Structure 1
Amino acid sequence: MYTAELAPLAGSLLWSSLIALLPLLTIFLTLGVLRWKAHWAGLSALGVAIAVAVLAYGMPVDLVALSATQGFAFGLFPIMWIVLTAIWLYELTVRSGRFEDLRLVINAISDDPRVQAIIIAFCFGGLLEALAGFGAPVAITGVMLMAIGFTAMRAATVVLIANTAPVAFGAIAIPIITAGNLTGIPYQHIGAIIGHQTPFLAAIVPLFLIFLVDGRRGVRQLWPLALVVGVVFGISQFVSSNFVSVELTDIIASLAGLAAAVIMLQVWKPLGGQDALENMRHEREHEGTGAPDAGEGTGSVAVASPPRTETRLTPGRVVMALFPYLLVIVIFSASKLVPALSSFLEATDVTIPWPGLDGNVLTAEGQVSASTVYAFQWLSSPGTLLLITGIIVALVYRMSLRDAVDVFVTNVVKMRFSILTVASVLALAYVMNQSGQTITIGTWIAGTGAAFAFLSPILGWLGTAVTGSDTSANALFATLQQTAAEEAGLDPALLVAANTSGGVVGKMISPQNLTIAATAVGLLGQESAIFRKVIWWSLGMLVALCLLVGLQSTVLSWMIPAL
């Protein structure tokens, strides 16, 4: 039996934390500086985490190995299962020829790629985050942007940065509900506080997206639309999380943002759309991915956009083009919002105490760790719901079973290195968590007293960067935030909310999400390049959140709703 120690190195929390940070530093160094491929970076960091667990923390080798296998299994299912089925659903639309119609439908709203980035990555991506989460929004919107003409790198960067503000309320507010269950603070109160934090990000993210697509010129030409969509999204997040429903916050905000975009485009037309299209066309040609089989043999998954044809859209073709995505909304909404169906799906989950590990790992407080139990959500997983959606889509599109299976198998083969990357990163996360490395880092940061209010979002950022999940970051640090707040005389609910808000800007640099984005757009092996594109955006938004939370703990305390 193993009991995690907070300070295994000579009783020093500082030195123990510095050693515990080595796996994370390995990830950042190999991806950001050495530019290794993500699967090698993930495996290297896993090796460092294992060495730290055994040599510094004294965790038995067999328990370390079992922790890694549990994390590896979690990386395969449900994480990569969701990504595989999400990309499979998209590939079905490409193989059937219907995706060209979807491009035409999007163009009917606006053929300006800067507008399309807002509609697809921010609004539709937010809706997918609300309903599915766990990487599905990045995978689906990434391939959608690629297929309408975005270069691979630009598509990956745009969808990762767009996938920020909705994350806190993602998957029907699972991160917030998890934090509430762990701390005993009503999750509605935590959600209300987050509704006073993430809307500030939401208001400016569309401006960032336009800048990424078309630079300063794009911002000058489209700032009214970006600001309207962002502000409407943010206000809707605030109103829903405080007065309507925490669970429905992202659904309401995404639909409101989309409606605002469509309405505004009826009365206001941005300039420069054709110039932006021409620039992107030139970029695409220079990138060398103009053929549908581009990237074959390199692990690429994305399918380049089909030849653009000028055909008239009929109502039937519009319905068929939108059908897969409307079906996703219907199935996921029903699975989350219809109590009878939600209860039925949850009842099918199989709980598996991890053999040899469960009951043999204790927390630093001496309690049996609950993280050694594996939940096999074979039916309720978003991946399985996407599989059901794909089967229905294949039937409606009259695709043969052979074609549908061939698309799936082809994707599995192409994504083999992505699967290895995500599984190894989750193995890393489990080893760090169960050996005590993560909680050592968190406790060290939490020891800053009243100044911790300014630093509390960093824990959520770190937790999400490691695990790729805001839910997991709350599972790691929510109770730590609560305890640290009580010791420092701060509002526990504020810091638990800050953990969740900090996590939303850590997701874009998570190796898991970087791999999902790279796989979706056909840049497998170039995760380090994407990392270098998004890291400064992540750090900039993190600093802004730290300042906001710090001020909310002092001079802006009036912003925090009463319990």
Structure 2
Amino acid sequence: MLLFFAILPIIWLIVALSGLKMAAWKACPVALLLSLLASVMYFGMPIDYMASAVLEGTALACWPILLIITATIYTYHLSVYTGGMEIIKAMLTSVSSDYRVLILLIAFGFGGFLEGMAGFGTAVAIPASMLAGMGINPVSAVAVCLVANFVPSAYGSIGIPLVTLSGIMGTDSAQLATYVALQISFLGVFCPFLMVGIAGGGLQAIKDMVPVCIAAGLSYVMAQLVVSYYMGPELAGVAGALATMSAIIGAVKYFPPKDTSYVLQRELVPQVSQIQAFMAWLPFILIFILLLLTSKLVPTIYDSISQIRTSVLIYKGEGGAPYTFHWVATPGMVIFFATFVSGFIKRTPLGDMLVVLRKTMVSLRPTFITIISIIATAKVMGYSGMTTTIADHTVAATGLMYPAIAAFIGSVGGFITGSATSTCILLGKLQMDAALAIGAPLNTQIWIAAANATGACAGKLIAPQSIAIGVAAIGVSGKGSESQLLGMTMKVYLPFIMLLGLMVYFGTSML
């Protein structure tokens, strides 16, 4: 009976989003309400503890997640307002007029770059907006960005998910990152094929794109693997993205797709000068530089700005730890700063920039509701023991077969939170304890922990939070697009999670 009430919020989200076709901003508050009732009535959580769990979830949702989402979408909107995005589109479309190539270049390459630098929804929001603005079907644009995000999202913003997980386990982050890269590699190679098939409407679209897809997939996973092994997780996602963008451009040069039915119809774009190109890319260049300078890779700066923080004990129950607000050392603040600086350099009036910011925040109201609700639900489920109950029953039912479902457990966390980082925090210790319970040696423990992160990547494909970010970026929140996207991504999630389970299980015998 406890298991039923533990999974009730998850069951509700699946039914509401896929069966009832409810908007995520309406369904997620109901899931929160169900988790509140279950935590108090069936898991014995005191009401004041429950309230403080909700408050902590709200704090996490607002700072840094919603801060980063707002900052990145604002960057895009301001780039549109100043005309920079049109120049970027012109430059990208100059590589090829074939929208299948553009999807790989923007969603897989540029999106992976954004995930590696900022994370927290940027890799879905900005590329989906760009693709939709080029005339690609908006829902398909979000779907391909969600699929593309499978490969880099375990590394998140400068490796935060894996650095966090390795800290929880007390193990080497480079070994963990290498195992993640190995688990992702097989499916990662196929992601470009899936993206082209989704956007092009079937297998026919893949026919003359095979060389480009192979180049995109192999370059990404190989670069990610090499950097993970030699340097650790911090720059693995960025390296993979830069490698795949170079590979796509090279493959298109030598193996250009010939099917003209996928060519975008657009007006003749004027020649872009070097100064125009630089000014158009300036916000993203500044974001890259400032995120790099303020990351742990530059400890002198990072250690200094990390001191500007406030730690507050929000959750009052057992297991509660002070929640730290980093007021400067957080990607959202860096992105905002870079965007405003680039606006001033472009001589955009401050009043205009503030008007664009206000419109951005108004457009994101459904997203705010969705993300606050789902993160608060995750906190309540975690602190009350609901998440542990789900995992305990799974371990009891599987025994030594547990490695086969470790990725699925991670995907549950990814589905609930929409974040690889949050999943590592929520379920990292649980996965380690389960590995110890079955007598796994250290290498296998790390392998299973890696499955938690890769499973989270699969779970993000169908996460309400991820879907909400995507539909917010294309401006169709609450119009039934959430359920349509869930149906599309579920078809990818199911085979992915089954293949991950097999890879993790049989991989344990090879360590």
Q: TM-score range by the shorter chain?
A: over 0.9
- The 3-state SS of whatever aligns with 2:428 is helix
Q: Which amino acid aligns with 1:468?
A: G
Is 1:382 the counterpart of 2:331? The answer is yes
Q: CA offset at residue 308 of structure 1?
A: 4.2
- Map Cα deviations across residues 329-364 of structure 1 (whole Å, 9 max, x no partner): 11212222222122123222221111xx33xx12xx
Q: CA offset at residue 50 of structure 1?
A: 0.6
Gap runs ≥5 in structure 2: none
More divergent stretch after superposition (381-390 vs 478-487): 478-487
Q: Which amino acid aligns with 1:461?
A: S
Aligned partner (choices 303, 312, 322) of residue 343 of structure 1 = 303
- Map Cα deviations across residues 465-487 of structure 1 (whole Å, 9 max, x no partner): 11111111111222222222122
- The 3-state SS of whatever aligns with 1:522 is coil
Is 1:423 the counterpart of 2:372? The answer is yes
Q: Give the aligned partner of residue 455 of structure 1.
A: 405
Aligned partner (choices 276, 281, 288) of residue 329 of structure 1 = 288
Q: Which amino acid aligns with 1:405?
A: L
Q: Which amino acid aligns with 2:447?
A: L
Q: Is the 8 A contact 1:459 1:502 kept in 2?
A: yes
The whole-number CA distance in structure 2 between the counterparts of 1:413 and 1:482 is 42
- Map Cα deviations across residues 359-378 of structure 1 (whole Å, 9 max, x no partner): xx12xxxxx333xx322122
TM-score (norm 1): 0.87
Q: Give the aligned partner of residue 502 of structure 1.
A: 455
Q: CA offset at residue 392 of structure 1?
A: 1.2
- The 3-state SS of whatever aligns with 1:375 is strand
Q: CA offset at residue 131 of structure 1?
A: 1.0
Q: Give the aligned partner of residue 530 of structure 1.
A: 485
Q: Is the 8 A contact 2:64 2:332 kept in 1?
A: yes
Q: Give the aligned partner of residue 271 of structure 1.
A: 258
Q: CA offset at residue 207 of structure 1?
A: 0.8
- The 3-state SS of whatever aligns with 2:338 is helix
Q: Give the aligned partner of residue 508 of structure 2.
A: 553
- Map Cα deviations across residues 475-504 of structure 1 (whole Å, 9 max, x no partner): 122222222212213321111111111111
Q: Which runs of 4+ in 1 moved over 4 A?
A: none
Aligned CA distance change for structure 1 residues 308 and 382 (closer, same or farther; 3 Å): farther
Aligned ranges for residues 24-35 of structure 1 at < 5 Å?
24-35=10-21
- The 3-state SS of whatever aligns with 1:350 is strand
Q: Give the aligned partner of residue 245 of structure 1.
A: 232
Q: Give the aligned partner of residue 342 of structure 2.
A: 393
RMSD (CA atoms): 1.5
- The 3-state SS of whatever aligns with 1:167 is coil
Q: Which amino acid aligns with 2:300?
A: A
Q: Which amino acid aligns with 1:369?
A: G
The whole-number CA distance in structure 2 between the counterparts of 1:348 and 1:308 is 49
Aligned ranges for residues 264-303 of structure 1 at < 5 Å?
264-272=251-259, 274-277=260-263
The whole-number CA distance in structure 2 between the counterparts of 1:513 and 1:344 is 32
Q: CA offset at residue 541 of structure 1?
A: 0.8
Q: Give the aligned partner of residue 127 of structure 2.
A: 141
The whole-number CA distance in structure 2 between the counterparts of 1:513 and 1:246 is 22
The whole-number CA distance in structure 2 between the counterparts of 1:344 and 1:147 is 40
Q: Is the 8 A contact 1:122 1:163 kept in 2?
A: yes
Q: Give the aligned partner of residue 51 of structure 1.
A: 37
The whole-number CA distance in structure 1 between the counterparts of 2:59 and 2:49 is 15
More divergent stretch after superposition (387-396 vs 477-486): 477-486
Aligned ranges for residues 172-251 of structure 1 at < 5 Å?
172-214=158-200, 215-251=202-238
Q: Is the 8 A contact 1:439 1:476 kept in 2?
A: no
Q: Give the aligned partner of residue 404 of structure 1.
A: 353
Q: Give the aligned partner of residue 432 of structure 1.
A: 381
More divergent stretch after superposition (217-226 vs 441-450): 441-450
- Map Cα deviations across residues 274-318 of structure 1 (whole Å, 9 max, x no partner): 31135xx6xxxxxxxxxxxxxxxxxxxxxxxxx845312222212
- The 3-state SS of whatever aligns with 2:153 is helix
The whole-number CA distance in structure 1 between the counterparts of 2:222 and 2:234 is 16
Q: Is the 8 A contact 1:446 1:481 kept in 2?
A: no
Gap runs ≥5 in structure 1: 1-14, 282-306, 363-367
Aligned partner (choices 57, 65, 70) of residue 71 of structure 1 = 57
Is 1:467 the counterpart of 2:417? The answer is yes
Q: Which amino acid aligns with 1:524?
A: S
- The 3-state SS of whatever aligns with 1:386 is helix
The whole-number CA distance in structure 2 between the counterparts of 1:509 and 1:25 is 13
Q: Give the aligned partner of residue 118 of structure 2.
A: 132
Aligned CA distance change for structure 1 residues 436 and 391 (closer, same or farther; 3 Å): same
Number of residue pairs matched by the alignment: 503
Q: Is the 8 A contact 2:173 2:232 kept in 1?
A: no
Q: Is the 8 A contact 1:42 1:421 kept in 2?
A: yes
The whole-number CA distance in structure 2 between the counterparts of 1:327 and 1:16 is 50
Is 1:155 the counterpart of 2:115? The answer is no
Residue identity over aligned pairs, in percent, reads 28
Aligned partner (choices 72, 90, 94) of residue 80 of structure 2 = 94
TM-score (norm 2): 0.95
Q: CA offset at residue 185 of structure 1?
A: 2.1
Q: Give the aligned partner of residue 478 of structure 1.
A: 428
More divergent stretch after superposition (198-207 vs 259-268): 259-268
